[in-house]
Amino acid sequence: MQALLLHGGRVIDPANGIDEVCDVLVRDGRIAAVGRLQGGDVPGDVERVDCSGRLVLPGLIDTHSHVYQYVTGRFGLNADLCGVHSGVTTLVDQGGASCMTLPGFRKHVIEPSHSRVLSFISAYLVGGLEGHFYPQLYRPDCADIAATVKAAKANADVVKGIKAHAELGGFARWGTEVMQKAAAIGEQTGLPVYIHFGQLWPEPEEGGMDVDPDSIFTQVVDLLKPRDVLAHPFSRHPGGFVELNGEVHPLVRDAIERGLKVDVGHGSHFSFKMAEKVLSAGIVPHTLGSDMHGYNTSVPAPAGTPEEHEHPDEEHMFKGTSRFSLVSAMTSMIALGLSLEQVIPMVTVNAARMVGMSDEIGSLGVGRVADISVLSDESGRWLMRDNEGTEVIAERMLQPVFCLREGRRFDATASILPIPEVA
């Protein structure tokens, strides 16, 4: 492969303590040098790419994607659409594959994708099979601890965690039984359990238990171990980090002190109001995932999609029209008052730790595979809007320009990328 020199960008690599305007040399798909390279340091056959005024970062890691395309109906997006063509080199699919469908995920998503794709395997036998419409598929009988543990251990190269749901509709139906099974899978595999908080399913019309949404967090945290991940801290739906009284749940800080991690899991249920409450309480998430899927991203429904699934935005729990991506979620975090230096670790070094791959991804270490993301970084005034209608002004706008995946360049041309709206 031809040598490539990313010249003159602001290189930020939290894992190696680098934050300076310098160069990154890539050769044979690997990082050959990082620094202010002189003529003698650069091969004669190098292709120079001017990165002046841009951010040159370790390849971005999206900790919450849904890319089991077609198998999960309208839900699963194309991996490269969310990945390399959106400036993201690694995607963590959250719960799309199960112990039954993981072989297909490997064969039909992981292997053909240019993006690196990992799995947090579902704690449920059905994985992500249109589960938003069929909560009965996620009852305790639909979780097989032994089978899921076996699948995870036999596929340790791609299975990096377990996905489970702790939400009001499920608790009203089954109490903590499903979460107990998910926690057992996490214990037996030694993998982090990634827990969805915030209501997902409607409460049952009859026969359900009366559940206080504010009690869910307390019940779940008692089941968890260090490195498990609490998702959706900024959800607008009840049963999460913010109690019905508008205050942050008192156990959130205790959970973090016990070693549990927090992932933004942006999604269409992201709320600027809730985010301000959580951040004001001094709780800064460790990682940042986009949570893009076919119900909150404008992509055509696959042929044969049931009629009630074609337009879920009309009455679905996750309705929404605001376009977003992993990089625009980074911009949202900055608009909320976090610094760029706080946000970049969320999508690089911290995300690499979450998936147990700090020795492979999340940094620009010399000799590593050349997974690199290049972003534009502009100043101005842009309007950002969530699905509650809350608007904030962003004075800094990040956008993906291109990325290198194993040294190969992919431009950020995804049709689903949001278009900034000038304020």
Q: Summarize the annotated binding site for Zn(2+) as residue ranges.
A: 64, 66, 163, 196, 232, 291
Burial class (CB in 10 A: 0-12, 13-18, 19+), 185: buried
Cα 196 to Cα 317: distance, rounded to the nearest angstrom: 14
For helices 145-154 and 177-189, the axis angle rounded to 10 degrees is 30
The strand ranges marked E within 243-309 are: 261-263
**How many Å apart are CA 260 and CA 249, to the nearest integer?**
15
> CA-to-CA distance for 181 and 183, rounded, in angstroms?
5
Distance of CA 1 to the CA centre of its chain: 31
Show the tokens assigned to 109. 């998503």
CA–CA dist 323, 298 (Å, integer): 8
Q: Which of 77, 95, 67 is nearest to 160 (CA)?
A: 95
CA angle 32, 26, 13 (to 5 degrees): 75
CA distances to 63, 196, 344, 389, 409 from 231, in Å: 10, 5, 18, 22, 32
Q: Is 146 exposed, middle or buried (0-12, 13-18, 19+ CB in 10 A)?
A: exposed
Q: CA–CA separation, 302 vs 325, rounded Å?
A: 21
Q: What angle do CA 176, 178, 180 make, to 5 degrees?
A: 65
The C-alpha atoms of residue 345 and residue 267 are separated, in whole angstroms, by: 20
Closest by alpha carbon to 193, among 132, 145, 249? 145
CA separation (Å) from 326 to 107, 336, 354, 375?
Answer: 25, 15, 17, 12
Q: Residues within the annotated binding site?
A: 64, 66, 163, 196, 232, 291
